[in-house]
Amino acid sequence: MSFYDTRETRDHAGRERELFARLPAQIAHATANTPAFAGLLDGIDPETVTSREALAGLPVIRKSELLERQKQARPFGGFAAVRWGAGCRRVFASPGPLYEPEGAGPDYYRLARALHAAGFRAGDLVHNTFSYHFTPAGSMMETAAHALGCTVFPAGTGQTEQQLAAIADLQPNAYVGTPSFLRILLDKATEAGVGISLRKALVSGEAFPPSLRDQFAAAGVTALQAYATADIGLIAYETPDGEGMVVDEDIVLEIVRPGTGEPVAAGEVGEVVVTTFNPDYPLIRFGTGDLSALLPGASPCGRTNLRIRGWMGRADQTTKVKGMFVHPGQVAEVVRRHPELGRARLVVDNPRLGDRMTLMCEVAGGGSEALAEAIGASLREITKLRGEVAFLAVGTLANDGKVIDDVRRYE
């Protein structure tokens, strides 16, 4: 069995024990070698963080905070444990700009597992259409393919005609890139009346609807998807005979209520928060800003790690009401103050073109006028804005991770 084939007999509980046995050393490393975590985790004894409950007590670092810290302390905001030189082979920029280091070693971003699950093997020729400039996507896929023994054609983005000519000449059997560009390549090949040699693909960076997957299959290309970010590397990946996406075996993944660090119940939609074991960029409880949910049980494919439903949108639902920003964390604080509440959602609309907030609250057995007044007072105190309160039966609000729903119209 290949190192990158993670189908195994070890159960999830055994993997959890291994991850949390490793975690204290990673936290100690982060606090000793990065100024940012030295401050953020000051007073935390790493040896006590050996469970999900203990990990949930640490602060979440979100992209917005990382961006602000990088602006104050270039290049990495004090979160990286490497400096220029042999320990940092490349530095990339994502929109913001956010700068990310690429350290040394094979398969730095851990994407070889996703490629292996998608059928990539030594001797394949991989047509890589991710960008090699500024952002790390091209390098992420190339280093993973090299780790498997594949050869890579660094096609990059655009230049469809030239790419089709290269495919015709080189006959690659594998593709990595966005699903939309693979569709363009297949459509152009059909228009030109030429065959295409691609037979397998790993796609990422965009939504991948079932209809597009079926279209690729009809063209003879079996495509699976990976969920990865520039900061973390691989987070989860699809398998041929599985459901949902298997979480990468070398991270700790949590699903938390948007705007907070509180884990949600299994199956509930929330924000993906990841802790890595990367020694160069040791992000602890990094809030990706993406929404997903845990799936129950193990994958039918034989991999026993946690599974998620995949990317389900963005968690950052901050909105401006009457000139004031309202954050999901403020809604969560209102709910925390009133234990009678279940799920809650702040709906913002504008009847007669005037902004209005209504906090929709699930309450078992209905709510009282006194409770509505108390919740309204909390909402006003926390957001500095007046809002209405409406009670709903438990289970009424959709399980979609939405905390603030801005439905204003300006026609």
**Strand stretches in 214-277, DSSP E:** 222-229, 233-237, 245-247, 251-256, 270-276
Percent of all residues in the chain with a pLDDT value above 70, rounded to a whole number = 97
State the DSSP code for 263: B
What tokens appear for 30 in the block?
């982060």
Q: CB neighbours (10 Å) of residue 349? A: 14
Q: What's the CATH architecture for 12-308?
A: 3-Layer(aba) Sandwich (3.40)
Question: Which residue in this structure is represented by tokens 């952002």?
Answer: 135
Quote the CA–CA distance of 408 and 411 in Å, as a whole number: 10
Question: Which residue in this structure is represented by tokens 């070693």?
Answer: 105
Question: Which pLDDT score is estimated for 353?
Answer: 63
pLDDT in tens, 243-267: 899 999 999 999 999 888 999 999 9
pLDDT in tens, 9-43: 567 888 899 999 999 999 999 999 999 999 999 99
For residues 232-241, give the mean pLDDT: 95
* CATH code for the domain defined by 319-406: 3.30.300.30
Vertex 45: Cα angle to 42 and 51 (nearest 5): 120
What tokens appear for 63 in the block?
């992209």
Question: Which pLDDT score is estimated for 314?
Answer: 77
Question: Is 335:346 a contact under the CB 8 Å cutoff?
Answer: no
Sign of CA dihedral 382, 384, 385, 387: positive
Question: Domain locations in the chain?
Answer: 12-308, 319-406
Quote the CA–CA distance of 251 and 281 in Å, as a whole number: 13
Lowest model confidence (mean pLDDT) among 39-53, 200-214, 299-313: 299-313
State the DSSP code for 212: H
